[in-house]
Structure 1
């Protein structure tokens, strides 16, 4: 895979006179406030963007002396509009020949970004908050004492892009994923089920989604993993980024990737010196979705509903998806307890929001009861007739799915040597996250391997192959309908 193919559909922040801005397809999406253009770079400030000595003259100042640089190797003058709350960092030190990139977020986008950087010969360190493992919303909860396995975020993923297909093919060869041909239905309240056509191959991790993430990164020789870790501050220092976690230093890096979203990402960027990335990130609107994991001794009474393994639920306020992890992950074992994952609707999640890091017991109990009642309604059972699960756990995904998107694969700021990637930039799918991570990695690799200059051409992203996958939400939380408006919520902490 060449970087040129990815560059043709990516967005790069360019410090030049703006051309006609990119107009999002969704009129509810705020128009981006930075130029999205196709051109060669120019210095953002007088004398900025050159070598480390600061003596190179700018073509826009008639040869006047460049502005004084601060102790962190950044220009003291900013061309960013005064309405922005923070001054733009502009690195004037030479681009590193052997860079190390910090990737904040160990979900699909962050890990694929790390792997793609490795393919280009660039080292990285991935910082992730996961207590149990990597993967973000490719999360799997394993109850070791049983054992029970629940995919409690992404239930499966599909492929529509050849670049992602090549990556999935490698996973198939290594036995990390398999095709899932279980019956999916659309389930109406009252128990009426309609089979969904098998229009595209669906894939699942062999031992759950998280095992896929753990396996692919364990084979890396140039990507370091630090977890659990909450990076709380980004600070420019002598032409590098210095990362800290509650005053604990975590090293200095030549570039930074923000591969997560929500309030935590907004807080991290708000004082970073990257106002353009901050502005774009803050336009993101995210839904909240409750997940209920429940284990039953006996199979649920769904035989009259065609013995489905997964169902998109319609007409039930508290339930949008129900999936049988046991039949999906252990199809040849019939005597195991039935482990189900249930998702609420986004509307229900919005009405029942609480701080996800500290869910009150009363709220957890209410959500469990409401979702189980929703299961009864979806299956056409009388109230109270559903067998009681012997194990349950609720989790709030506060930053579940985006409700708006700019439909671009990544955003890279060459002045601050920083970028953002994630599924939300393209839509909401595992594939979108992977393509976003690939794209940003190639941008950064090209930037460093060209000595800090940019390739000659960048496309705005209006007519690019990524639009074909924008808006697919099936790979993350299958029950969320595209375009549902909900308020932003806190970041996801596994």
Structure 2
């Protein structure tokens, strides 16, 4: 990580005369004091936007002082739902952006869907469904429904206690799924955008400030120059990217994030799964209780309405976070012995949860195991976005507010509007736009597979929180 040293007397429209090899970017020592500008601008973020940049590192902070481009361009690193929404709302404010994503098969991040031909088999293997509690998110979901991108999931969902006791959620808030699978929702979001460019698969490996712009590269290959950057992914890769970027406060907050590890086992069965006293299980989705290896199971065939005329039954089984931690290995190179152990342990857990006798769970005709090494956040700073106005860099993601699709969307909206306000306020003290750089983290409660406002015992996300996410 690189350290901090800034001077808030520099305005966005002022060009620094220092000659230091960075052109109009200054790198100043950490020991300098911040002197708040006398120019004050009323903030829709209340006091959080006026938070000062505390110097907590002995390294250097990049400080851009040159004017923004006449037609500024933003780089978004990460094409998950938060990054995509941020790009769309930047477009609403007339700002161009480029989304860089590592996805080979499509965008989406944890909006993951795997399709296996020739059957075809289809599995949502990360985010399973979402609920809605915020009116802004509700408007977006209504628009998705009108376009046929999502629909309400009417199948039975509830708690499955070890031994086969199933308790449905009654009453239950509306639950939503993507009609063709979660990844296809992500791929559809930018289908009509005019100001958003997508580059994938691409793994941005370096961020360099030079001549008033951010220069991005992928293993030495230039990937463009940008007025501002957005980090819309997290985990080890994001930490490595930020370690030498000149953004110590952004890096510090990202590094404080703690993420769980979750195993996903995709399994297709020739026949419906058995259930004591019934011909098949009485649910489409269940939160599993009292089983070490499994926290969730869902019938994708029914949830996604894949087939009405028979065929394999496609199930997604997700492990507990504790089981993921116990069996964590590098997700890029999973040892075969670990894969065999985890697969057997999770299938045993499914058998136990369903209350079946030992060895009576049908053998699946297809299985695939995946480790989400950076699955879900376990702590949060509780702010909609993070933004360093001196380095012209921000962070969005579900972890800033929670661990669900709604939180990711609201975070993307918040950062897009914040960046647009910053771009469109030349001459204003940049320090007025600092947000989330020093917020303390708090533990994040929820299911092992995320939060679902209104479902179970979880608290609903309040719309009356002390910030405003949208204009």
TM-score computed with the length of structure 1 as normaliser: 0.80
Alpha carbons of structure 1 residues 367 and 173: separation in structure 2 relative to 1, 3 Å: same
**1:197 CA displacement:** 2.4
* Structure 2 residue 118 is matched with structure 1 residue 167: no
Give the conservation status (yes or no) of the 8 Å contact 1:133–1:210. Answer: yes
Alpha carbons of structure 1 residues 293 and 304: separation in structure 2 relative to 1, 3 Å: same
Q: 1:386 aligns with which of 329, 339, 361?
A: 361
Residue-by-residue CA offset, 1:53-76 (whole Å, 9 max, x unaligned): 326xxxxxxxxxxx5554342113
**1:52 CA displacement:** 4.7
* Structure 2 residue 375 is matched with structure 1 residue 377: no
* Structure 2 residue 156 is matched with structure 1 residue 196: no
The residue number in structure 2 matching 1:61 is: none
The residue number in structure 1 matching 2:338 is: 363
* Structure 2 residue 234 is matched with structure 1 residue 283: no
Q: How does 1:302-341 map to 2 (within 5 A)?
A: 302=275, 304=277, 307-330=282-305, 333-341=308-316
5+ long unaligned stretches in structure 1:
1-32, 35-42, 56-66, 462-469, 483-494
Alpha carbons of structure 1 residues 408 and 46: separation in structure 2 relative to 1, 3 Å: closer
Give the conservation status (yes or no) of the 8 Å contact 2:385–2:394. Answer: yes
Aligned to 2:28, the other structure's residue is in SS state: coil
* Structure 2 residue 123 is matched with structure 1 residue 150: yes
What CA RMSD, in Å, does the superposition of the two structures yield over aligned residues? 2.7
Q: How does 1:46-445 map to 2 (within 5 A)?
A: 48-54=10-16, 68-79=19-30, 84=57, 86-302=59-275, 304=277, 307-330=282-305, 333-445=308-420
Give the conservation status (yes or no) of the 8 Å contact 2:11–2:430. Answer: no
* Structure 2 residue 13 is matched with structure 1 residue 45: no
Give the conservation status (yes or no) of the 8 Å contact 2:276–2:356. Answer: no
Aligned to 1:357, the other structure's residue is in SS state: coil
**1:48 CA displacement:** 3.1
TM-score computed with the length of structure 2 as normaliser: 0.84
Aligned to 1:76, the other structure's residue is in SS state: strand
Alpha carbons of structure 1 residues 435 and 471: separation in structure 2 relative to 1, 3 Å: farther
Aligned to 1:90, the other structure's residue is in SS state: strand
Residue-by-residue CA offset, 1:221-255 (whole Å, 9 max, x unaligned): 11111111110110001111000111111011010
Alpha carbons of structure 1 residues 143 and 228: separation in structure 2 relative to 1, 3 Å: same
Alpha carbons of structure 1 residues 290 and 107: separation in structure 2 relative to 1, 3 Å: same
Give the conservation status (yes or no) of the 8 Å contact 1:49–1:91. Answer: no
Give the conservation status (yes or no) of the 8 Å contact 1:164–1:434. Answer: yes
Q: Distance in 2 between matches of 1:100 and 1:383?
A: 59
Q: Distance in 2 between matches of 1:93 and 1:192?
A: 64
5+ long unaligned stretches in structure 2:
32-53, 437-443, 459-471
Alpha carbons of structure 1 residues 117 and 244: separation in structure 2 relative to 1, 3 Å: same
Aligned to 1:394, the other structure's residue is in SS state: strand
Alpha carbons of structure 1 residues 220 and 359: separation in structure 2 relative to 1, 3 Å: same
Q: Distance in 1 between matches of 2:369 and 2:77?
A: 26
Q: Distance in 1 between matches of 2:20 and 2:340?
A: 57
Give the conservation status (yes or no) of the 8 Å contact 2:214–2:225. Answer: yes
